[in-house]
Amino acid sequence: MVFGIRKRIHDHLVDRRIRRTRLVTKYGRCNIEFGNVKYGNHFAFLLDFWTTFVEFRWRFVLFFFIASFTLSWFIFGLLWFWIARNNGDLTWQNPSKGHIPCVDNVYNLITAFLFSLETQTSIGYGGRAITPFCSGAVTLIIIQYLIGNIINCFMCGVILAKISIPKKRAKTITFSEMAVICPKKDFLCLMIRVANLRKTLMIGSQIYGKLLRTTIKPDGETIIMDQVNIEFVVDAGKDNLFFVCPLTLYHVIDNTSPFFEMAVDTLHKQEFELVVFLDGTTESTNSACQVRTSFIPQEIMWGYNFLPIISRNKEGKYRVNFSNFSKVVPVATAHCAYCFHNMKGHHLHTIDGIDNGEFEVIDNLEQPNMTKM
């Protein structure tokens, strides 16, 4: 029991260290900090106040929503109280019997606040109304009406923008937790699985990747986060994907690939991060959307292939079995890309692969009878 607890603590610490060191999380968030930013540059966020408000967390948006209306009601309530005081409408001023107030039934601070609230929200209970004998009151009610509409439009726009933000659409597109390396159509390929959980399509989808690593030039210069393009394709190409069902994306490991120098026993010793991007346009809202995820060497399995998840029933209808989305099977795979391309027959040396405890592996002999699209 003690050994199990120690192992869990160790795995938790390792997982936290991995999350801190990777640039892009599995859910697409960028893990980066900006330091030594000049104080004057912070005013750029105020100039671009619309984007700043939209990117606020919901708790702050709700706070500003409540505060903006409440504060405006109170400020204009004070102004209405000031007008009533100057006109001698307040109770403690003992107005004469024939006195004509600027606003009927506004005789203290509370009634002034209630009139401000009723005016700005267009409630109009009928108990309080402005009279045409005070030009200042007429001017103030026009100003409050205009400012109230501006606050309404701005706050409603922010809330609608946050609800319809394309980032939320990305939540319904999921990548496989792991990537695999195995032969495909006489090529050694790195493969990733991606699925669209909605039935609405992503129009004009494009997939591409960036390999991030630290490189040292011959002159001794160290480049941190050096980016190398990684091309991903499917059987029908790499642009305008027909994203109606889960797709398996693959990158061909040839002599131009940065994975060509890696082998089964050196892959997990490397230090790099593979960031995968999927760009497209949401069919229902016509808004651009980008989905991101990343893979580190410990999340790449050498010598495994994904289990098919698409089948056809007796009625001829296609079915996607998401219970197999994260399942893999061991396949015969070369020890390295060089062996695969230059040593005939050597790539059939094993079907053991490199295992990963977080991935569910099934026996190759127990594959269900499925028809793969």
What pLDDT does residue 124 have?
Answer: 77
The pLDDT > 70 percentage for the chain reads 83
Contact predicate 287/169, CB 8 Å: yes
Task: Name the E strands within 1-52.
Answer: none
Residue 28, pLDDT above cutoff 70: yes
Beta bridge partners of 319: 311
Question: For residues 332 and 155, which has the higher predicted lDDT (pLDDT)?
Answer: 155
Mean pLDDT value across residues 271-293: 86
What pLDDT does residue 373 have?
Answer: 35
Mean pLDDT value across residues 161-166: 81
Mean pLDDT value across residues 273-291: 86
Question: For residues 332 and 140, which has the higher predicted lDDT (pLDDT)?
Answer: 140
What pLDDT does residue 111 have?
Answer: 93
What digits encode the pLDDT tens for the residues 73-131? 999 999 999 999 999 989 888 888 888 899 999 999 999 999 999 999 888 777 888 98
Beta bridge partners of 302: 181
Q: Identify the three-state secondary structure at position 65.
A: helix
Residue 133, pLDDT above cutoff 90: no
Residue 252, pLDDT above cutoff 80: yes
Mean pLDDT value across residues 46-65: 88
Q: Cα dist. 196→33, 70, 155 in Å?
A: 31, 43, 32
Rounded distance between C-alpha atoms, residue 221 and residue 111, angstroms:
72
Dihedral sign, Cα of residue 44, residue 46, residue 51, residue 52: positive
What digits encode the pLDDT tens for the residues 292-346? 999 999 899 998 998 888 888 888 888 888 888 878 889 888 888 878 877 655 4
Question: For residues 141 and 43, which has the higher predicted lDDT (pLDDT)?
Answer: 141
What pLDDT does residue 179 have?
Answer: 92
What pLDDT does residue 372 have?
Answer: 37
Residue 218, pLDDT above cutoff 50: yes
Contacts of 189 (CB under 8 A, 6+ apart): 181, 182, 183, 250, 251, 252, 253
Contacts of 2 (CB under 8 A, 6+ apart): none
Residue 367, pLDDT above cutoff 80: no
Residue 55, pLDDT above cutoff 80: yes
Nearest to 192 by CA among 274, 289, 282: 274
Q: For the chain, give me the number of helices (H) and strands (E)?
A: 8, 15
What pLDDT does residue 147 have?
Answer: 95
Length of the chain: 373
Backbone phi and psi for residue 36, each to the nearest 5 degrees, phi listed first: 55, 40
What pLDDT does residue 10 have?
Answer: 61
Of the ranges 59-73, 82-96, 248-262, 354-368, which one carries the lowest mean pLDDT score?
354-368
Q: In what helix (H) or strand (E) does residue 222 lie, and over which residues does it extend?
A: strand 222-230
Rounded distance between C-alpha atoms, residue 207 and residue 257, angstroms:
17
Rounded distance between C-alpha atoms, residue 86 and residue 105, angstroms:
15
The pTM for the full model equals 0.69
Nearest to 353 by CA among 183, 217, 186: 183
Mean pLDDT value across residues 58-84: 95
Residue 16, pLDDT above cutoff 80: no
Rounded distance between C-alpha atoms, residue 294 and residue 16, angstroms:
16
DSSP classification of residue 119:
H
Burial of 144 (0-12, 13-18, 19+ CB in 10 A): buried
Of the ranges 54-63, 134-143, 292-301, 363-372, which one carries the lowest mean pLDDT score?
363-372
What digits encode the pLDDT tens for the residues 180-215? 998 888 889 999 999 888 877 788 888 889 999 888
Contacts of 62 (CB under 8 A, 6+ apart): none
